[in-house]
Structure 1
Amino acid sequence: MNCSCSTSDHVQRSRRLGDESGAPYATLSADELQRVAEILRANDALDEAHRIAYIGLDEPDRAEVAAGRSVPRRARVQLLDVDSGRARALSVDLASGTLAKDVDIDPDLDGQVPLLQEEHGIIRELIGADERWATALAARGIDDPRTVALAGLSAGRFPIEGEQGRRLARVLGHHQPTPQTMPWAHPIDGLVAYVDLASRTVVDVIDTGVMPIPQETGDYHVPGTFGPERTTQKPIVIRQPEGPSFSFDGDVISWEKWSLRVGYDMREGLILHGIGFEDDGRVRPIVHRASIAEMLVPYGDPGPVRFWQNYFDTGEYLLGRLVNSLELGCDCVGDITYLDVPIADARGNVKVLPNAICIHEEDAGVLWKHTEQFTGSSDVRRQRRLVISFFVTVGNYDYGFYWYLYLDGKIEFEAKATGLVFTAAYDERTSRFASELAPGLAAPYHQHLFCARLDMAVDDGPAVIDEVDVGALPVDDDNLHGSAIGFTKTRLRSEQEGRRRANATVDRTWRVSSATAKNRLGRPTSYVLTPEGKPVLLAQPDSVIASRARFATSDLWVTAYDPDERYPAGDVVNQSAPEQGLPAFVADDASLDGADLVLWHTFGLTHFPRTEDWPIMPVDTCGFTLKPHDFFDRNPTLDVPASPTACACAHEDTGAARTEHHLHHLSVRPSSHHG
């Protein structure tokens, strides 16, 4: 990593996730992962021809755990036979050493298991030996195919003759004349290859005509390429001399009044279990399980070379295994606790991903403040938040996933998108569907859409959900001047009704309320999901991508909890069949009244690339908020003490002292204008 940040003012602590393997929702430990591989081998399921495409915890039914029943410790596995292309879904019982489930994955009815990392090597080998590809490169002035960086990408599922049932990848190339060259600056356009990964053949090479390869460098990583670095920045020092305010008990973290279990999965990445808040001596449940269960990047170039570019980064590429090892002082600053994460590779070998998760606390501005004229008092308290995050690199893009817990019971999620845009050549045709970033260099319009799975547990009982809209009240005898405002609540009673769109014009939110618990005023305790309300999937409703990513066509889906309903686009996403996942989950239109409710919230960014996004994109963000509403009897932060600093703001009648203090520290310069 090219990071020169000083670590002298930072503190690093490390732990390994999964060492508390006895708990029902604990991440599979390194020993358990090794045990799974041994069981697979003992049952002739893992040998030289087979690869593990996915392995993760087979989470038990929450009702079984809540009832105190003993639940088996199991792992979910997807296997691929690389010789035949046959794929299977298994459940491995760690205690008995048996396969609790072993079923075929049908490529026509289901789809294909995720792309294996070793398959990218197969793609390079096949493309490098293909004469059609070499001829197309030569026509573009490239004599050595080894100077082309190949992007082997998920193929999608299109009505193309001969593709049904085949395990495919589609391949685009970028010129990389030297190992130091940033290839994304030099797309080789008008050219794409289709590869059958099972038969190991190049099915087709499509050449729509030679387009000029953009030549301007994108080598931002080489110092001095775009001028000298600025020298004006003074250090910002973050210190916690007494250490952090959080503590661990196994995988469970406690901070202020929060407690939760941190988990990790090679598909979803970071998972938060059992999020609760201590109130009046007891921990009150809020969210049973929270994760970003899918991520979709649909591109909007319909041309013959790129019409298929639609990526499910979670289900097709397993973004959790693409995690960065975070670096102190650069990715995370201050007093940092890192969590190392164990995963198993395709052959069942266990490896540890170091510094995968970053946990720290940070100041978050003013929590509350008031200066009261009648009492002469002036009080202010500082907000702070616990940050739990990880970063992944999926090809050209990098994504940060940040969960924030606040002192006042608020939960936020923020996704950070950065890295490099996927490039193409710019011409008259692409100008309708792409931005020109540099001479002859284009970046197609696209979206970054995330789907959060929020298994709610507000006060751990049956729940209901309402859609809440605000608006002006009509003029009547009680509202003669038309100034009254109010809100309407619409109860969502079934899963079909629970499919909703955001509406910023009425500040639409969704309120999950306990059906039994009430606050001291007799109102149901609740938490409110506030969306950003940006566009969801913009593709046409009858398009191929909309049929495979139906979850992304609505801001919200609400389902009654089912332990088998894990992913919004279905268990198998690569080359998936249409209408998998949420459309199938809600087909029975189960009742939501008094159920354990799961919220599936789609949010994200619509990206029309700017020149400022090249050669590397500054972070752009999106997310959502979960906020308590009548959950507490009063402001839960009245016990937060004043900051232990030289601040006179918690004392009375100190105006003169404050003025003298500030004048002493301010350097006042003459001004030529009037303030």
Structure 2
Amino acid sequence: MTTLENRTHALAMTSEAEVTTVREVLLDSGLLGENVRYTFFAPEEPAKDEVLAGGGADRRFRVVLLDIATGTSWDVVVSTDSRSVVTQRRIDPVTEGQPPIIDTEFEFIEDVLNSSPEWLAALERRGIDPTTVRAVPLSAGAFTDYPETPGRRVVRAFGFRQDHEKDHPWAHPIDGMVAYVDLTGRRVDRVVDEAVHEVPATSGNFDDPQVQGAPLDLKPIEITQPEGRSFTVEDGRVRWGNWDLRIGFNEREGLTLHQISFDGRPICYRASVAEMVVPYADPSPVRFWQNYFDCGEYMFARYADSLQLGCDCLGDILYTDAVIADDLGNPRTIENAICMHEEDYGVLWKHSDMFTGARETRRQRRLVISFFTPIGNYDYGFYWYLYLDGTIELECKATGIVFTSGTPGEYATEIAPGLGAPFHQHLFSARLDMTVDGTANAVEEVEAARVPMGEGNPYGNAFRRKVTRLSRESDAQRDANASTGRVWHIVNTEKTNALGQPVGYALHPLGQPTLLADEASSIHSRATFATKALWVTGYDKDERYPAGDFVNQNPGGAGLPAWVQADRPVDGEDIVVWHTFGLTHFPRPEDWPIMPVDYTGFVLKPSGFFDRNPALNVPASSGGHCHTEGDVHGPGKDRRPEDG
């Protein structure tokens, strides 16, 4: 474990000793009191140029504090090396938004609701015993037609009936009512009781063997590496094949990758999922506000799972713990938070030549670095893949339980009798701080363009590659276009390969819809990052989160839309690429009672970065794993023992 005594790198993962030191500094400075809680804790990373120059050794941490009795909050940076408060300022909740919602507030929400005559009356109207109701407090958003909200710390709460201790209440939404709760005052401001709907009676108990049915007759799959792993990890530094990088973890972004390089050449200084938003499509009076920023409003990675061998990860696994801070500022270690292992990934390259008789095959494999986190009803997995040919991929996996309603209709699918699942999106923002062979980078939009039949193209078969250089931040707000195969090349403007072409990496988007809400909507203003598939900005170490630092109840306009007003040049500069990607989910009956994993993500693929195939030196499979000479035995043919 990294400690204050043996830390070796400015980007080393957080240790328990550092969390304890931060708390001691805040206590000594008088910033912690009986009612003060942590709402955010993470390393305050040094500026890129400091780290690349070998400096940035002063370890600093950013803490957002909340007085739960008054609602006052502070943004503080602490140095654990000098044991001092470096900066502190009070947060203006009206203009900046509120700190994230914390466990302490989740814990008292049912007591607050059950002390409200309006809440109890609404349940009585439906004939529901309050002791059977599980409350789900949710981020309130920001709406101008609710003038009492700005500056006040509020959530909105739904109720779900739980019929017994093992019953999953998501199957029994109490629809037509919602409570608005003042978290600071611990009181219910109002209850919107719009209509009485029958509570669905279907079962959601996916973990009940009677619901699951008889198990399939599937034989075990065992993944082994008799000679051990091919990768090494030391003090957060990962080496595998030609790859070299560092890993990190914080409660807002979860897993982060740093200083990614291939064969000693830098590709990406820092990669993370910096935000995600889940906007819902139901416009009803009790649901119109449902738009959740799981990173910025809930710090979703603080709930990361402790992964289990054979269930979450399969093979020769290396687990890494992650250290965060709880609401009181004490260290909390998430055991086995990060999983690393190798996977076979089919054929890497192959050819059987008709002229020379050459027959060569190589197997592809990838290094997998992942974590999984539940947040409310959903569970999200984030899997970074590094491939032998220099490709980088991020795959996000969405599973868990769809958010339910008791009103199937125009904006929801009926997934079980009387049970609705509103339409929604899962939109992620990847922050890619690129250093493709250095910091002088630019982005080119590359796509196919048809060539009209005529002179030079008499038979109409020609098509060209159209390249558009994005020169300023105002130009670099782009949509994906699958019809033209649009990709974005991040190129170095000062270096070329052996063919005189700029070295680069291409970002391949999946090209799914971005934010579908109306341009005049509150969520469009608050999640503007999600309205474009690509943004490119000049590097600034303080520009970390695409919807702003304080997303909870933020009125909108923060983050990317504010930063690009400067219209900085991004051609041949130190740049950050932001990519929006995700899922548009029209739930299916097959998503109930638990949703099979759905996938989204993107790929970064070398394009001119190498002079030739960089995976030529991958060795052929050996021993009994591959038969390349004289192997004429087809399926079902007899083999001699020495054939393998």
For 2:358 and 2:546, the matched residues in 1 are separated by 52
Q: Counterpart amino acid of 2:253?
A: E
- 1:497 corresponding residue in structure 2: 475
1:663 matched to which residue of 2?
A: 637
Corresponding residue number in structure 1 for 2:499: 521
Question: Is 1:21–1:29's contact at 8 Å kept on the other side of the alignment?
Answer: no
Cα offset, 1:660, TM superposition: 6.0
Q: 1:385 maps to which residue?
A: 366
Name the CA distance, whole Å, in 1 between partners of 2:227 and 2:28: 51
| C-alpha distance in structure 1 between counterparts of 2:6 and 2:384, whole Å | 22
Whichever residue aligns with residue 271 of structure 1, its letter is T
- Aligned partner of 2:554 among 567, 576, 592: 576
Equivalent residues of 1:122, 1:197 under 8 A apart = no
2:539: which partner in 1?
561
TM-score (norm 2): 0.97
CA distance in 2, matches of 1:72, 1:18: 11
Match of 1:157 among 142, 147, 155: 142
Where does residue 107 of structure 1 map in the other structure? 93
Taking the aligned partners of 1:662 and 1:513, their CA distance within structure 2 comes to 51
Q: Name the residue aligned to 2:38.
A: 52
1:451 aligned partner, one-letter code:
S
1:375 aligns with 2:356: yes
Deviation at 1:473, TM superposition (A): 2.4
Distance 2:365 2:331 in 1: 37
Alignment of 1:130-209 (within 5 A): 130-143=116-129, 145-159=130-144, 160-209=146-195
Residues 113 and 392 of structure 1, relative CA distance in 2, 3 Å threshold: same
Distance (whole Å) between structure 2 residues aligned to residue 400 and residue 414 of structure 1: 8
**Which residue of 309, 331, 337 maps to 1:350?**
331
Separation in 2, partners of 1:392, 1:660: 45
Partner of 1:5: none
- Residues 18 and 27 of structure 1 are in contact (CA less than 8 Å); yes or no, is this contact kept in structure 2? no
Amino acid at match of 2:313: C
Equivalent residue for 2:16, pick from 30, 37, 47: 30
Q: Which residue of 2 aligns with 1:272?
A: 257
Pair 1:544 & 2:530 matched: no
1:82 has 2:82 as partner: no
1:294 and 1:18 map into 2 onto residues whose CA distance is 30
Which moved further from structure 2: 215-224 or 467-476?
A: 467-476
* Aligned residue number for residue 9 of structure 1: none
Preserved CA contact (<8 Å) 1:112 1:573: yes
Structure 1 residues 18, 432: CA separation in 2 closer, same or farther (over 3 Å shift)? farther
The structure 2 residue matched to 1:607, chosen from 580, 585, 591, is 585
**CA spacing shift, 1:613–1:648, aligned 2, 3 Å:** closer
CA contact (8 A) 1:20 1:251 kept: no
Query: How well do the aligned residues superpose, as a CA RMSD in angstroms?
Result: 1.6
Partners of 2:2 and 2:14 within 8 A in 1: no
Q: Deviation string for 1:606-633 (max 9, x for gaps)?
A: 0000000001000000000000011111
Report deviation, 1:478. 3.3
Using the alignment, how far apart are the partners of 1:115 and 1:517 within structure 2? Answer: 47
Which amino acid in the other structure matches residue 172 of structure 1? F
C-alpha contact 2:277 2:292 (8 A) present in aligned 1: yes
Q: Secondary structure at the match of 2:566?
A: coil
Question: 1:135 deviation in Å?
Answer: 1.8
**Where does residue 229 of structure 1 map in the other structure?**
215
1:227 Cα deviation after fit: 2.5
Q: Name the SS for the 2:427 alignment partner.
A: strand
Q: CA deviation at 1:477?
A: 4.1
Rounded to whole Å, the distance in 2 between the matches of 1:503 and 1:229 is 43
Indicate the SS of the match to 2:24.
Answer: helix
Secondary structure class of the residue paired with 1:658: coil
Match of 1:293 among 274, 277, 296: 274
Mapped to 2, the partners of 1:132 and 1:288 lie a distance apart of 53
Aligned partner of 1:98 in structure 2 is 84
The alpha-carbon deviation at position 637 of structure 1 amounts to 0.8
Residue 411 of structure 1 corresponds to 392
Q: Distance in 1 between matches of 2:372 and 2:510?
A: 22
Q: Distance in 2 between matches of 1:294 and 1:506?
A: 28
AA at the equivalent of 1:54: F
Equivalent pair of 1:190/1:211 in contact (CA under 8 Å) = yes
Aligned position for 1:444: 422
Name the counterpart of 1:453.
431
SS of alignment partner, residue 591 of structure 1:
coil
State TM-score, norm by structure 1.
0.92
CA-to-partner distance for each residue in 1:413-443, whole Å, 9 max, x for gaps?
A: 00000000111112xxx51110001111000
Find the residue that maps to 1:343 and give its secondary structure: strand
The secondary structure found in structure 2 opposite 1:348 is coil
Tell me the secondary structure at the aligned position of residue 93 of structure 2.
Answer: coil
Cα distance in 1 between the residues matched to 2:5 and 2:592? 42
Asked if 1:650 is matched to 2:628, the reply is yes
Distance 1:218 1:19, change over 3 A: farther
Report how many aligned residue pairs link the two structures.
639
Question: What amino acid sits opposite 1:501 in the alignment?
Answer: D
Cα distance in 2 for partners of 1:286, 1:275 equals 6
CA distance in 2, matches of 1:649, 1:501: 47
| Structure 2 CA distance for partners of 1:181 and 1:587, relative to 1, 3 Å | same
Compute the displacement of 1:585 (Å): 1.0
How much does 1:20 deviate?
Answer: 6.3
Contact 2:252-2:300 at 8 Å conserved across structures? yes
Shift of 1:96: 2.1
Give the partner amino acid of 1:38.
E
Structure 2 counterpart of 1:10: none
Distance of aligned partners of 1:21 and 1:476 in 2 relative to their CA distance in 1, 3 Å threshold = farther
Partner of residue 263, structure 1: 248
Supply the AA of the counterpart residue of 2:358. Answer: S
Gaps of 5+ in 1: 1-14, 666-675
Tell me how far 1:485 sits from its aligned partner: 2.2
User: Which residue does 2:49 correspond to in 1?
Assistant: 63
Tell me the equivalent position of 1:506.
Answer: 484
Identity percentage of aligned residues:
50
One-letter code aligned to 2:142: R
| Residues 431, 578 of structure 2: 8 Å contact kept | yes
Give the Å deviation of 1:471. 2.3
For the Cα contact (< 8 Å) 1:18–1:251, is it kept in 2?
no
How far did 1:71 drift?
A: 4.7
Task: Quote the offset at 1:646 in angstroms.
Answer: 3.3
TM alignment of 1:426-437, pairs within 5 A: 426=407, 430-437=408-415
SS of equivalent residue, structure 1 residue 56:
strand
Distance 2:253 2:267 in 1: 21
Q: Look up the match of 2:642.
A: none
Contact 2:63 2:77 (8 Å CA) reproduced: yes
Instruction: Find the aligned partners of 1:49 and 1:659 in 2 and give their Cα distance.
Output: 74
CA contact 1:377–1:650 (8 Å) conserved in 2: no
How far off its partner does 1:647 sit? 6.1
Offset, 1:645: 3.8
In 2, distance between residues paired with 1:161 and 1:661? 73
Indicate how the Cα distance of structure 1 residues 613 and 20 shifts in structure 2: closer, same or farther if over 3 A, else same. farther
Deviation at 1:69, TM superposition (A): 4.1
Contact kept, 8 Å, 1:324 with 1:391, in 2: the verdict is yes
- Asked if 1:284 corresponds to 2:270, the answer is no
Offset at residue 27 of structure 1 (A): 2.2
Return 5+ residue gaps in structure 2 as ranges: 640-644
Q: Deviations over 1:212-243 (max 9, x none)?
A: 0000111111111243222x211212111111
SS at match of 1:36: helix
2:568 corresponds to which residue? 590
Contact between 1:403 and 1:412, CA under 8 Å: does it hold in 2?
Answer: yes
8 Å contact kept, 2:305–2:371? yes
